[in-house]
Amino acid sequence: METTNGQNGSTKGALPLLTKKDFESGVDPRWCPGCGDFSIINQVQKLMPNVGVPREKIVFISGIGCSSRFPYYMNNYGMHTLHGRAPSFASGLKISRPDLMVWVVTGDGDALAIGGNHFIHVMRRNMDIKLVMFNNRIYGLTKGQVSPTSELGKKTKTTPYGSPDYPFNPPALALGAGATFVARAVDVEGVHMGQMLKAAADHKGSAYVEVYQNCPVFNDGAYTYMTEKAVRAESILRMEQGKPLLFGKDNKKGIRFNPQTVHLEVVTLGENGITEKDILVHDATHSDPTIAFMLANLTGKPGFPTPIGVFRDVRLPTCDELTWQQIEEVTAKKGQGTLEKLLTSGETWTVK
Amino acid sequence: METTNGQNGSTKGALPLLTKKDFESGVDPRWCPGCGDFSIINQVQKLMPNVGVPREKIVFISGIGCSSRFPYYMNNYGMHTLHGRAPSFASGLKISRPDLMVWVVTGDGDALAIGGNHFIHVMRRNMDIKLVMFNNRIYGLTKGQVSPTSELGKKTKTTPYGSPDYPFNPPALALGAGATFVARAVDVEGVHMGQMLKAAADHKGSAYVEVYQNCPVFNDGAYTYMTEKAVRAESILRMEQGKPLLFGKDNKKGIRFNPQTVHLEVVTLGENGITEKDILVHDATHSDPTIAFMLANLTGKPGFPTPIGVFRDVRLPTCDELTWQQIEEVTAKKGQGTLEKLLTSGETWTVK
Amino acid sequence: MSTPATPSSRKVQQVDAVTIRFVGDSGDGMQLTGTEFTKASALAGNDLATFPDYPAEIRAPAGSLFGVSGYQLNFSSKDIHTPGDQPDVLVAMNPAAFKTNVADLKVGGMLVVNAGAFTEQNLAKAGYKSNPLEDAAVQQNYQVCAVDITQLTQLALEGSGLSSKEIARCGNYFALGLMFWLYNRDTAHEIENINKKFAKKPPIAAANVAVFKAGYNYGETAEVFRGTFEVPAAKLAPGVYRNMTGNFATALGFAAVARQTGKQVFLGSYPITPATEILHEMSYLKEHGVVTYQAEDEIAGIGSAIGASFGGALAATTTSGPGLALKAEMIGLACIAELPIVIVNVQRGGPSTGMPTKTEQADLLFALFGRHGECPVPVIAAQSPADCFYAAMEAMKTAVKWMTPVILLTDGYLANGSEPFRIPDAAALPQVEIKYETAQNGENGEYLPYKRDAKLVRPWAIPGTPGLEHRIGGLEKDSLTGMVSYDGNNHEKMVRTRAAKVANVVEDVPDLTVTGPAKGKVLLLSWGGTYGSVRTTAELLQAEGRSVAHAHLRWLNPLPKNLGAVLRSYEKVLVPEVNSGQLAFYLRGSFPGVDPVQFNRINGKPLKVAELAAATRELL
Amino acid sequence: MSTPATPSSRKVQQVDAVTIRFVGDSGDGMQLTGTEFTKASALAGNDLATFPDYPAEIRAPAGSLFGVSGYQLNFSSKDIHTPGDQPDVLVAMNPAAFKTNVADLKVGGMLVVNAGAFTEQNLAKAGYKSNPLEDAAVQQNYQVCAVDITQLTQLALEGSGLSSKEIARCGNYFALGLMFWLYNRDTAHEIENINKKFAKKPPIAAANVAVFKAGYNYGETAEVFRGTFEVPAAKLAPGVYRNMTGNFATALGFAAVARQTGKQVFLGSYPITPATEILHEMSYLKEHGVVTYQAEDEIAGIGSAIGASFGGALAATTTSGPGLALKAEMIGLACIAELPIVIVNVQRGGPSTGMPTKTEQADLLFALFGRHGECPVPVIAAQSPADCFYAAMEAMKTAVKWMTPVILLTDGYLANGSEPFRIPDAAALPQVEIKYETAQNGENGEYLPYKRDAKLVRPWAIPGTPGLEHRIGGLEKDSLTGMVSYDGNNHEKMVRTRAAKVANVVEDVPDLTVTGPAKGKVLLLSWGGTYGSVRTTAELLQAEGRSVAHAHLRWLNPLPKNLGAVLRSYEKVLVPEVNSGQLAFYLRGSFPGVDPVQFNRINGKPLKVAELAAATRELL
Ligand SMILES: Cc1ncc(C[n+]2csc(CCOP(=O)(O)OP(=O)(O)O)c2C)c(N)n1
Ligand SMILES: Cc1ncc(C[n+]2csc(CCOP(=O)(O)OP(=O)(O)O)c2C)c(N)n1
Ligand code: SF4
Ligand code: SF4
Ligand SMILES: [Mg+2]
Ligand SMILES: [Mg+2]
């Protein structure tokens, strides 16, 4: 069948039982010792046996960067493409082969600097692609230049006196572009990361997972402000569907929506009459992306914890679904084309 | 002085009194009869004498498209560049020449299809550039293909059976990218458009003005749903700083923030106890972009009017300011460089 | 409904070939008029070639010089290859159209003008102080038939109840009717067409029919024309024909491959003049196995195609100069990854945005050398509008057979020009075979994506095939496993292997055939869209009994095996190009000692036979 | 602090030139060791050339083959042009480094290895079953000095209180000390350097000094070395020198133009190996009138530069192959708009992502022809690391004088290689004049942006200049006003004018000079980074008394006026290139009848003198 060039394999029936090992290509990763990328690939390889898709129908596509070496280490079909362009290959492959599960692995520079346009468009179209961005807030492979997620004033090899650029807030950008699934994880929290990746895998449509990743060589400690044992409880807000947004040690603090200021604020349970029912209950399934956007904007806001978890998860028809639905409708209406019909369509005349 | 290559002209002292006419290049616009672009250039030319910058220091830069022919018709310095790339030229010019006032004129395809990356980055950096996007929801110059702002299902020459792509909500995208000024105007409301353009001119930093523009040839009536006399009052929400968000004939309807649902809703004054003080008061100057984003998301939402006016207007140091501040600091610290110093810096040895 | 007056009793003159150019405002419907007359000529069995000339602006102000739109048609009883150098008949609907085109009209040619449009205001818009029709020179040089089409149209539609705007729009049918009379065309069929075309708006249909007849009858009754003409049917190969532009033919060619193979053809493109229609046309062919994707930019367009190709689709991307520039990096990836894909470049006037609606051949060297590193790709150029069909099939066939990106060059003239296309029977079409790898090919039961066959072609294993999971990318790769390799000798080997593979494609490149003497004074060597003009020039000079031969290069890389020998068989080789001499340079670089004479025009138009013939005579 | 033992009493052997290669793990600090030894050799007055060879990975696992990092240094009492074909001395810090480099060591050469690192585990990582040092062949072919650097370093730092990790990091200073002893280098100065370098960490400084001395003393006391060597000072032109890599020199060259003219130099770039350091270096030069902007991608990088150029800045963009591909459309705009800008392309292994850290010359045809439409631009190629300084100045001078984009080609070898640079006095530098138009130039007091001077150069009027407001763009433009024009003849005129202007640049292109016989058997013609190897080869063969001349092409477009004549003065022309023969093709295309012999390597390394000499001898 044209969709799949006759090599469909089968998602039907029981899949062979595979383990993490089956998804290791056998090439040892060439990342620096201590690189956060290791913990990410570890979670991805753990997840693969449980996504309900045969191994040969899972494709990993990356751009260029340390992070983008990823596909070489996965025992799937994979493409290591061009800097910033991975989503374009992925989109073409997914439209052409909706039977495949397509993942994009990318970095903050790859996805948001040179690749920014493909990134926002793949989100806009709600293409059924899972995009995982390793955000180390630096260009790793080229040895330490400022990236679109580096902080204002950051000193790097290209900004020796500090960067004059404001960073993107990636989840906010994705939401602004129309992403139907947006989540954030941290390299040092493997289990949570695994949950986020699973949620992305289960989401039908464009899924964006930002992973805070430490680059010990060129941007070491970029996330210690939130990952250090001592501060973690106070500085991380764990968003869980249907649960109140509580944080802090023994969850005494919470996020409340203040109707007066029309903004979010941090409150403490028990203090001036605040009880758990004052706390905003997390709902990632809202069709309107505003609350997700509001939470995304807590990132880096003085006095607020950094949210991790699923910001948004909404099911809408995907670009690939709509495309094939249309192809089937037209074909049903006009009948399967033939070479004959094709060539003789339109106005003709005969010469004897 | 290096900033300005010694041709600074002067913004100090009184400017020569100029009129709209002084900003007409004398080339007659080659837009189709009835094109919305005419009303836009009319407002821009009216505004120019009042922006407080000498004519020779105002530069218009465009990409490619019907809209992008704009600079040829303005009697300023101008560049008609490449499809989608206008913001990149503008950014280089502004960083190099902070003394200039730089405008970008672009279309929905130019800015958001091929130019999407430069668009989000110019917004992210808060570069002091005013970007006016003529949104006709179609590719005009190439004669009618789907654009990133065309509606889902839209039939065009490249989508004869309807488009499978969701459109961008441009103000939401700009806000997601970090824009400090975002406004919307409509071609048929000249006076209001003029106010929006003036506000953009007065804003220091990246300013995005979306203008709904009718393309009578390839997408005629794209905005009649809101601009028709009969429906206008009900279907347009005029956002004014410090004023309650009222609309409808004799402003009986309003936008209220519902703390329960944490969402906006339409209410009617006088009905079940609603008074003006229940209505959300518009404040574009909030540092948190969430409310602006929420309003942007009313666009096209069933049962809601389409907001026009200023969504956001926040002053932050601009990329060009930060860049030159740094250059001055370094120069002050190290002293003005000389050829001598430059060549002999670093480790040297002498051969007799 | 009364049928028009029976054909004139006045004398009917037989002629071999006629070139008519219809010119008017963008709003005057000249493209429609031209196409309708073309259809009628086709039905009359003429061979023909057409060439529209649009303004760059969508709808320039009425009456403006830059708003003039034209359509030229050459129809003949002989077999022809060009829309003609100079029109024999110029139909001009207003002063601006007259001014911008009259210089091209053959001296002694027939000038039909809508006198009604030569108003003070229109004359001013065209920059005339006085009415040029009264100008003695004009009267002397041409057979001037000034007809007040505006008024006659109004008369014909009196009481039709149509608005004056609607009435004005019917004027082009008056001109069409007049031409139908002048060339004795079948009006009944045209009337059907009109009724079909405006089926949704009967009053408009009726009006156009009425005006069409009025035009026809005007010719019959008014005494302005000496007589009518007849262009006998040409001796075309028997078969079913349709008229096709190059862009339509390209779209059809790709779709034909989909139908032939039962595989998906995937087109990932971004609109750009003059290539956009290929995407338009293919977007309609959903039931024919064609999937189209309008990407956010040219880079994503080819990216999506390469992605689809990795998935096993027969992938293509279509663009023009500026877009080809943006795709350069991606072509390099397809080259090193060795994935099949066709890049169609419809050449237009450059550099930069240049002259989007004008034709040019200046992307040849760019197509050959326009990538960083050693990055050879096969390059094919179509030679006529209908040939785009076969060129597209051939390009796709080459891509999948050799696992390589292939560049197909056409140009603005081929893209928008049209000619009759004889519908081939399926069996006669070039066959395209597609073979996906399904089994491991390594000693130890592993899959080696870069293990090559005797022709140096690597296998194509696509996702969904169990056990063949593999990774490919843009870094240099080990010559078997495809894994990243920084080994210098491996790199040298891979560079040479990729080059050798593309060189091997020569086995599919037919030897160059020459029309005319096998040895002699001058060889005219054409490539791409200049085929028609050069061929016509050669025939002309051969008819003059001169020692002139013609050969045409369809393959630019690899070059035909016998090319060097052919070039060396003539005293002089003349290379006519619509550029500054790119093929000439390429030939010098490829065949030491060969030093062609150049004939270059770069004015946005197809080459003129008369000019080329004159230049050739000087070499004899 | 006790100074090291006084130089050896043992015999000191004089030698002309020595090539040392330091190799070890990325973590072993070989780049530092190499640079320090280079400085010392420079201070000793030697001429020198260096070439580092990094792994592509940032920090590959310790001991792995692909993680080996190397630094080669050639220092001499004569004037030299290359880092040397084969090392005389190889210092290898572990088995992986040994394995990947030993094959290059001269037979009979000195092999210094850290025996302490040849552990089971490291041997396994390098894929050795047994210890290769015990291998008879190795012992026969080389003077093996197996020193347990690991252990000796630990001994030297006993009680230093440093962690074993910190101690391990000092090992490279042992090797450095040993080499200082072997070549009688000034230790005092190096000790200063160490103390400066680690001023912030005194314990580390002390440790490195101790280990450095230990290495030096080891040479003195241990009986492993037959004696020490001395390379006398070279006869370099008197003056102040500094050592520079090509990338640093390029940055300095642009900054020099800023200082010279008092105008702003603007660099808009996007990082890419091996060009990134140019952006790094220029980012530090804020007080020197340099403005740098790291754009979101390569397209925006050159876009920002063109925008700045419109504003009057001296604008440049720096990149490598893939980036040049992305900039192609933009270069076309600068060409048609006629705005000055320099595009620096640091060539690397291609196609596609290829071999980012390896050198290549395969972007020549791309630089010449890599744009759609007729789009000529001047192309200059730097010939040595220090020459990048002058090449950058010259490129910028050409851009602003002729109002055109200029492509400057360097390569990975020039970019990372280094050599001494004699600091010129300001007066001696090529002068760059900048003239902005300040007055109307039209008959009627208007400003005509495309009204040209005698050399066909258009004026440069920049925003801020009252009365000269004008618009430019990428569409074809009227030859005076610059307004959009679709007129075919105007287009033809503009295409020819732009070509003629670039051809006129030849007035600034010095005639080609030849070293060696003015006529004769073989001419070696080099371009770009192969200058050093080819020049050295020519000198070698001339010393053998052979009829071999050498000429070097710095200008690729326009080509020097006398090039054709020079090429025709020799029986054979040999063109050595690190590509598949791009210059050779270009010469054939440009000079009918000229058919150079090719010598091509494409293995990511500079050409080897020995190989080229052998190939040349065969032609004699
Ligand atoms: C077209 C192109 N431009 C630039 C580069 C150089 N380059 C490679 S990776 C990279 C940035 C990597 O940063 P990121 O995407 O954050 O990945 P990381 O290495 O940090 O994981 C750059 C600039 C390239 N390979 N190709
Ligand atoms: C690199 C490149 N790609 C494509 C084109 C063709 N092109 C010109 S304008 C345009 C789209 C214009 O749409 P928009 O930006 O909305 O402007 P409008 O004409 O609607 O005002 C396209 C695709 C081009 N000129 N250059
Ligand atoms: S440079 Fe940073 S991101 Fe890249 S592999 Fe090393 S640690 Fe990881
Ligand atoms: S095509 Fe549409 S947008 Fe373009 S000029 Fe005409 S009316 Fe305006
Ligand atoms: Mg990164
Ligand atoms: Mg538009």
> What's the pLDDT score for residue B8?
35
Which of B139, B145, B146, B213 to mutate for ligand 2's pocket (most ligand atoms within 8 Å of CB)?
B139
Residue pair D48/D231 in contact (Cβ under 8 Å)? The answer is: no
C309 to A61, A319, C437, C588: CA distances (angstroms):
14, 19, 14, 36
Residues C342-380 as b or e (16 or more Cβ within 10 Å = b): bbbbbbbbbbbbbbbbbbbbbbbbbbbbbbbbbbbbbbb
Question: What's the maximum distance between 2 C-alpha atoms anywhere in chain C?
Answer: 90
The amino acid at residue C577 is E
Residues D552-578 as b or e (16 or more Cβ within 10 Å = b): bbbbbbbbbebbbebbebbebbbbbbb
B6 — pLDDT class (breaks 50, 70, 90)? very low
CB-based contact, D568 to chain C, within 8 Å: no
SS3 C63: coil
CB-based contact, C300 to chain A, within 8 Å: yes
> What's the pLDDT score for residue C10?
66
Query: Is C66–B30 a contact, with Cβ atoms under 8 angstroms apart?
Result: yes
Asked if the model's pLDDT at residue D612 lies above 90, the reply is yes
Q: Is B64 in the pocket of ligand 2 (CB under 6 A)?
A: yes
Asked if the model's pLDDT at residue D38 lies above 90, the reply is yes
The amino acid at residue D274 is P
Average pLDDT over chain D, rounded to an integer: 95
SS3 B90: helix
> What's the pLDDT score for residue D223?
78
CB-based contact, B177 to chain A, within 8 Å: yes
Query: Is C288–A350 a contact, with Cβ atoms under 8 angstroms apart?
Result: no
Residue-wise pLDDT tens digits, D331-347 = 999 999 999 999 999 99
Out of B278-292, B333-347, D218-232, least confident range: D218-232
Residue pair C155/C132 in contact (Cβ under 8 Å)? The answer is: no
Residue pair D567/D591 in contact (Cβ under 8 Å)? The answer is: yes
Q: Which of D49, D48, D55 is nearest to D23 (CA)?
A: D55
Residue-wise pLDDT tens digits, A291-346 = 999 999 999 999 999 999 999 999 999 999 999 999 999 999 999 999 999 999 88
Q: Which of D502, D342, D330 is nearest to D432 (CA)?
A: D342
What residues form DSSP beta bridges with A117? none
Q: Determine the Cα–Cα distance for residues A291 and C516; give it in Å rounded to an integer.
A: 78
Strand C143-147 with A263-268, pairing:
unpaired
D9 — pLDDT class (breaks 50, 70, 90)? low
Cα(A49) to ligand 4 centroid in Å equals 53
Query: Is A114–D61 a contact, with Cβ atoms under 8 angstroms apart?
Result: no
CB-based contact, B226 to chain C, within 8 Å: no
Q: What DSSP string runs through B114-130?
A: TTHHHHHHHHHTT-SEE
Tell me the mean pLDDT in the region C471-479: 97
Residue pair B138/B125 in contact (Cβ under 8 Å)? The answer is: no
The proportion of chain D whose per-residue pLDDT surpasses 90, expressed as a percent, equals 91
Cα(B75) to ligand 4 centroid in Å equals 22
Tell me the mean pLDDT in the region C245-264: 97
Q: Determine the Cα–Cα distance for residues D74 and D91; give it in Å rounded to an integer.
A: 14
Q: Closest-CA residue in chain D for C362? A: D373
> What's the pLDDT score for residue C222?
84
SS3 C194: helix
Strand C597-600 with D12-14, pairing:
unpaired
pLDDT along chain A (352 residues), means of 10: 38 76 93 95 98 97 98 98 98 98 98 98 98 98 97 97 98 98 98 98 98 97 95 96 95 91 92 93 95 96 97 98 98 96 91 87
Chain centroid, CA A298 distance in Å: 19
Smallest CA–CA distance, residue C427 to chain A, in Å, is 11
Cα(B236) to ligand 1 centroid in Å equals 45
Query: Is B316–A120 a contact, with Cβ atoms under 8 angstroms apart?
Result: no
Q: Determine the Cα–Cα distance for residues D362 and D358; give it in Å rounded to an integer.
A: 12
> What's the pLDDT score for residue C199?
94
Query: Is B64–C353 a contact, with Cβ atoms under 8 angstroms apart?
Result: yes
Query: Is A148–D296 a contact, with Cβ atoms under 8 angstroms apart?
Result: yes
Q: Closest-CA residue in chain C for B115? A: C297
Cα(A223) to ligand 3 centroid in Å equals 15
CB-based contact, A143 to chain D, within 8 Å: yes
> What's the pLDDT score for residue D489?
96
Residues D186-200 as b or e (16 or more Cβ within 10 Å = b): ebeebbebbeeebee
* Residue nearest (by alpha carbon) to ligand 3 atom 2: A215
Burial of A160 (0-12, 13-18, 19+ CB in 10 A): middle
Out of B6-10, C298-302, C374-378, least confident range: B6-10
Q: Which of C406, C338, C347, C399 is nearest to C378 (CA)?
A: C406
Chain B residues whose beta carbon lies within 8 Å of the beta carbon of residue D266: 92, 95-96
CB neighbour list of residue B108: distance below 8 Å, 6 or more residues apart: B133, B134, B135, B136, B137, B138, B147, B148, B149, B170
> What's the pLDDT score for residue A244?
97
Residue-wise pLDDT tens digits, C312-368 = 999 999 999 999 999 999 999 999 999 999 999 999 999 999 999 999 999 999 999
Which of A138, A142, A211, A218 to mutate for ligand 3's pocket (most ligand atoms within 8 Å of CB)?
A218
Radius of gyration (Cα) for chain A, nearest Å? Answer: 23
CB-based contact, B250 to chain D, within 8 Å: no
Smallest CA–CA distance, residue D278 to chain B, in Å, is 15
SS3 C51: strand
Nearest CB neighbour to A114, from listed D292, D297, D352: D297
Residue-wise pLDDT tens digits, D502-551 = 999 999 999 999 999 999 999 999 999 999 999 999 999 999 999 999 99
Nearest CB neighbour to B5, from listed D237, D429, D436: D436
**Residues in the ligand 3 pocket, defined by CB under 6 Å:** A 31-32, 35, 37, 66, 136, 140, 215-218; D 58-59
* Residue nearest (by alpha carbon) to ligand 1 atom 9: A65
Q: Other C-beta atoms within 10 Å of C50: how many? A: 24
Which of A32, A83, A143 to mutate for ligand 1's pocket (most ligand atoms within 8 Å of CB)?
A83
Query: Is A342–C288 a contact, with Cβ atoms under 8 angstroms apart?
Result: yes
> What's the pLDDT score for residue B263?
87
Q: How many helices (H) and strands (E) does chain B have?
A: 11, 12
Mutate to test the interface with C, among A319, A339, A341, A344 (most CBs of C within 10 A): A339
CB-based contact, D286 to chain A, within 8 Å: yes
Q: Which of D502, D269, D472 is nearest to D378 (CA)?
A: D502
> What's the pLDDT score for residue C223?
77
Cα(B227) to ligand 4 centroid in Å equals 18
Residue-wise pLDDT tens digits, C557-604 = 999 999 999 999 999 999 999 999 999 999 999 999 999 999 999 999
Q: Which ligand has an atom closest to residue A114 CA?
A: 1
Q: Closest-CA residue in chain D for C100? A: D487
Residue pair C583/C364 in contact (Cβ under 8 Å)? The answer is: yes
> What's the pLDDT score for residue D479?
96
Asked if the model's pLDDT at residue B4 lies above 80, the reply is no
Q: Determine the Cα–Cα distance for residues C471 and C482; give it in Å rounded to an integer.
A: 7
Mutate to test the interface with D, among A31, A157, A168 (most CBs of D within 10 A): A157
Q: Other C-beta atoms within 10 Å of C17: how many? A: 17
Cα(B115) to ligand 2 centroid in Å equals 10
> What's the pLDDT score for residue A314?
98
SS3 C241: strand
Residue-wise pLDDT tens digits, A224-245 = 999 999 999 999 999 999 999 9
CB-based contact, D217 to chain A, within 8 Å: no
B38 to A246, B34, C295, C341: CA distances (angstroms):
54, 8, 30, 43
The helix, strand and coil proportions of chain C, stated in percent and rounded to the nearest 5, come to: 40, 20, 40
CB neighbour list of residue C120: distance below 8 Å, 6 or more residues apart: none
Asked if the model's pLDDT at residue B9 lies above 60, the reply is no
For the CA of B107, the nearest atom of ligand 4: 3
CB-based contact, C500 to chain D, within 8 Å: no
Pick the more confident residue, C310 or A17: C310
Asked if the model's pLDDT at residue D211 lies above 90, the reply is yes
Q: Determine the Cα–Cα distance for residues A102 and A90; give it in Å rounded to an integer.
A: 7
Protein residues within 5 Å, CB atom, of ion ligand 6: B 107-108, 136
Smallest CA–CA distance, residue B82 to chain C, in Å, is 7
Residues C567-596 as b or e (16 or more Cβ within 10 Å = b): bebbebbbbbbbbbbbbbbbbbbbbbebbb
B contact residues 304-333, partner D, Cβ 8 Å cutoff: 323, 326-327, 330-331
Nearest CB neighbour to A176, from listed B175, B323, B330: B175
For the CA of B65, the nearest atom of ligand 4: 4
Residue-wise pLDDT tens digits, B115-171 = 999 999 999 999 999 999 999 999 999 999 999 999 999 999 999 999 999 999 999
Question: φ and ψ at D388, to 5 degrees?
Answer: -55, -30
Tell me the mean pLDDT in the region C399-408: 98
Mutate to test the interface with C, among B157, B213, B217, B219 (most CBs of C within 10 A): B157
Nearest CB neighbour to A100, from listed C295, C315, C463: C463
> What's the pLDDT score for residue B292?
97
Which of A28, A30, A32 to mutate for ligand 3's pocket (most ligand atoms within 8 Å of CB)?
A32
Q: Determine the Cα–Cα distance for residues D260 and D272; give it in Å rounded to an integer.
A: 28
CB-based contact, C270 to chain B, within 8 Å: yes
Nearest CB neighbour to D297, from listed B79, B80, B117: B117
> What's the pLDDT score for residue A278?
93
Residue-wise pLDDT tens digits, D476-491 = 999 999 999 999 999 9
